[in-house]
Amino acid sequence: MTGPLLKVENLTKHYPLGAGILKKTIPVVRAVEDVSFSVEAGETLCIVGESGCGKSTVARLLMRLAEPTAGRVLIDGTDIAGLKKHELRAWRRRMQMVFQDPYSSLNPRLTAGQIITEPVENFEPLSWKQRKALAAELLQQVGMSPQMMDRLPSELSGGQRQRLGIARALALQPALIIADEAVSALDVSVQAQILNLLLDLQQQMGIAFVFISHDLGVVEHIGHRVAVMYLGRIVELAPCEALFAKPVHPYTEALIVAAPVPDPTRVRLAAPVDGEVPSPVNPPRGCAFHPRCPLAVERCRIEVPPLVPMADGRVVACHVRAPAQPEVAVSARPPPVAEPHSSGLF
Ligand SMILES: Nc1ncnc2c1ncn2[C@@H]1O[C@H](COP(=O)(O)OP(=O)(O)O)[C@@H](O)[C@H]1O
Ligand code: SF4
Ligand SMILES: [Mg+2]
């Protein structure tokens, strides 16, 4: 296979608010705006940002649980929007999801064994013996005893329930798992165990993750690359180490300043920004971060900053910290064919 496992191009999702019978224009929630990224096999791409910035909407669009307003999602180079029903079924085996709240995402009337073997049985019938063997294997893979297979979700701890959610996602041997706030509801010590389990599974099975979290500490532990979202847009996408060592976008910087610092030798940057995230129904013109940004200049109030590639491999959308190169006005050679700003940068 050539090319990335997952490629997201200019993904946009607007939710209309009301029917707007009497109004000419229906107001919309701009949940996701022009988001582009790719994920390689065996890689973890984290998506981080404050509540409401569009992270879960991206996850839903990737899983085709919602239809995009614009943009494309490609798996192994195939646009999932064009898949027929049987092709979609096959594709669903490649991509699985782990949710934040394992309790509400697990059927309370099914046993652990039934829950984790159900995805396989949706594709092929299993004998009683096969089902037991598969349940035992999956439970062991997520560090649980096979004896747990007869327990109901209510008889398990929060950490065990999340392990069960992961086992269910593993059942179809996916190439990619999308984990939306998968450890956010757990105690810190259990969080660490689950994150280490995901890292082990990635090493053993080469699974790629899109790992969504509002918690930078978690992201730093697990990510290869990190996309920072603000009000529906990616504002910085960088290798994990580079992002934490030297955030470039003022919002990334503010998030890192606001996060608890586990390493006391790490130097704090400037002060965290004040103010609330604006409404995605009526986002500020220009750079959506400008009302809160200490570096804002006039241009920020007018023009949306494009994502600009930096020398260290990251992309940043900021007029001040990553100004776009001015276009060459006169050239003897024909200009290159214009492409969406996302292509080739991620
Ligand atoms: N089905 C929906 N209808 C209308 N607005 C929605 C819907 N789902 C999400 N939103 C809005 O889209 C924005 C992004 O939400 P979400 O993707 O859940 O953010 P996050 O996961 O980062 O907290 C929020 O303003 C949210 O209220
Ligand atoms: S574009 Fe302007 S307002 Fe936006 S982050 Fe950069 S400096 Fe701040
Ligand atoms: Mg969410």
Task: Report DSSP state, residue 295.
Answer: T
Residue listed under structure tokens 């569009």: 54
pLDDT band at 90 (very low <50, low <70, confident <90, very high): confident
What pLDDT score was predicted for residue 286?
A: 97
Distance CA 332, CA 323 (A): 25
Backbone angles phi, psi at 12, to 5 degrees: -140, 135
Structural domain spans, the chain: 6-101+206-316
- Cα dihedral sign, 120-125-126-131: positive
Backbone angles phi, psi at 228, to 5 degrees: -100, 125
What pLDDT score was predicted for residue 322?
A: 95
Please, are residues 235 and 218 in contact by the beta-carbon 8 Å criterion? no
Task: Report DSSP state, residue 300.
Answer: G
User: Atom 24 of ligand 1 has which residue's CA nearest to it?
Assistant: 52
What pLDDT score was predicted for residue 101?
A: 76
28 lines ligand 1 (CB under 6 A): no
pLDDT digits 0-9 by tens, 6-26: 999 999 999 998 765 666 678
Q: Is the pTM of this model over 0.85?
A: yes
CA 146 to chain centre: 31
Distance CA 32, CA 24 (A): 23
- Provide the CATH topology of domain 6-101+206-316: Rossmann fold (3.40.50)
Q: What is the number of helices (H) and of strands (E) in the chain?
A: 10, 12
- Among 17-21, 188-192, 247-251, 339-343, which is the least confidently predicted range? 339-343
Distance CA 165, CA 21 (A): 43
What pLDDT score was predicted for residue 327?
A: 54
Higher pLDDT, 44 or 104: 44
User: Atom 25 of ligand 1 has which residue's CA nearest to it?
Assistant: 52
Q: Which of 29, 97, 211, 281 to mutate to test the pocket of ligand 1 (most atoms within 8 A of CB)?
A: 29
Which residues contact residue 117 at a Cβ distance below 8 angstroms, ignoring those fewer than 6 apart? 126, 131, 134, 135, 138, 171
What pLDDT score was predicted for residue 18?
A: 76
293 lines ligand 2 (CB under 6 A): yes
213 lines ligand 1 (CB under 6 A): no
Q: For residue 113, give the amino acid letter.
A: G
Distance CA 22, CA 16 (A): 14
